[in-house]
Structure 1
Amino acid sequence: MTFTLSDTLPESKPALYETLVAQARALIEHETDTVANAANFSSLVFNSLDGLNWAGFYFFDGAELVVGPFQGKPACVRIALGKGVCGTAALSRQTQVVADVHAFPGHIACDSASQSEIVVPLVAADGALIGVWDVDSPRLARFDEADAAGMEALCRTFVEFGWRGIAR
């Protein structure tokens, strides 16, 4: 199967995310390797949305979140549940939209350029925690509720079509 990333993306956020969901599904649904799917998913989002400096996965290993495929500068490798934005999203199982990461209690600064962040928990159909999808921006208040809805749709697509488990 050949995958082509569109050179022109819609300008409205709902239409943009709808396009990205379709592209993500086409990119990952026939690949059986989770790491390959996560790597391509990260690249798709990072290269399609403006104003990002990091986009990637932290997978739950049964005890903590461990960095997975991503785009951006090197990242923190392990994050405890309940710590920082990622750990909070994982523990609460709720998307975290943070307009100013410096105002978030216990924020973990992997890249000092990050100013805002959105983290979506990844949860399997049986309710098991898979991990989180984390996206950072060097701009304050880069993410809003439309981004939350769009990222959640993208993450549902990843869990349904791209997640095959991680061999440990």
Structure 2
Amino acid sequence: MYDFRPDESLPPAELHRQLHAAADALTAGEPDAVANMANVAALLWEFLPDLNWAGFYRVARAKGESEGEELVLGPFVGRPACIRIPFGQGVCGAAARSGETQRVEDVHAFPGHIACDAASRSELVVPVLRDGRVIAVIDLDSPSPARFTRDDAAGIEALAALLAARI
């Protein structure tokens, strides 16, 4: 059995390097996307302090539509969450529509923020891109304002790049 808990005193760059290495070790050679997302959600929860939600939303055809896409809840750790999020709505939908990382210091100031957990104060959402197309987003929420740094964004972007072919 592996213990993936990091030393909490690590500088952010080293913490993210170790998170990336652990995710690589757990997902390498595993073809099941759900299993890989579940393990990575657990790693995010273990590695990153001060979170109240960590997980994935997957891109899927919009419910009841012949075309169009939306985000559908994937594996996560935290309180129950919104199941479907239209592209362009909330922080996750903004990341999915733009294909760009969203680092929000105060979710209450974000127009159209979707509050799945009223305790959330800041959010980091990183799109997972495959062949230039968003296939999922990694969503991190914190009860602390301005919790996520540029180092966090860069670390999760590297993680998303690793996972693009594994989920």
Structure 1 length normalisation: TM-score? 0.91
AA of the residue aligned to 1:140: P
Match of 1:99 among 94, 102, 105: 105
Contact (CA 8 Å) 1:75, 1:111: kept in 2 or not?
yes
Could you say which residue in structure 1 is the equivalent of 2:37?
38
Write out per-residue CA displacement over residues 7-52 of structure 1, whole angstroms, 9 at most, x where no aligned residue: 5356111111011101100011121111000000000011111100
Task: Detail structure 1 runs of 4+ shifted over 4 Å in the superposition.
Answer: none
AA of the residue aligned to 2:28: E
Q: Separation in 1 of the partners of 2:161 and 2:8? A: 21
Could you say which residue in structure 2 is the equivalent of 1:151?
156
Write out per-residue CA displacement over residues 94-116 of structure 1, whole angstroms, 9 at most, x where no aligned residue: 00000000000000000000000
User: Which structure is higher in strand share?
Assistant: 2
2:122 is the alignment partner of 1:123: no
AA of the residue aligned to 1:95: T
**Structure 2 counterparts to residues 37-116 of structure 1, below 5 A:** 37-62=36-61, 63-116=69-122
AA of the residue aligned to 2:159: L
Secondary structure of 1:61's counterpart equals strand
Write out per-residue CA displacement over residues 70-110 of structure 1, whole angstroms, 9 at most, x where no aligned residue: 00000000000000000000000100000000000000000
Structure 2: gaps spanning 5 or more residues: 62-68
Secondary structure of 2:40's counterpart equals helix
Contact (CA 8 Å) 1:115, 1:140: kept in 2 or not?
yes
Paired positions, count? 160
Q: Separation in 2 of the partners of 1:7 and 1:121? A: 25
Pairwise CA RMSD: 1.3
Contact (CA 8 Å) 2:129, 2:160: kept in 1 or not?
no
Could you say which residue in structure 2 is the equivalent of 1:19?
18
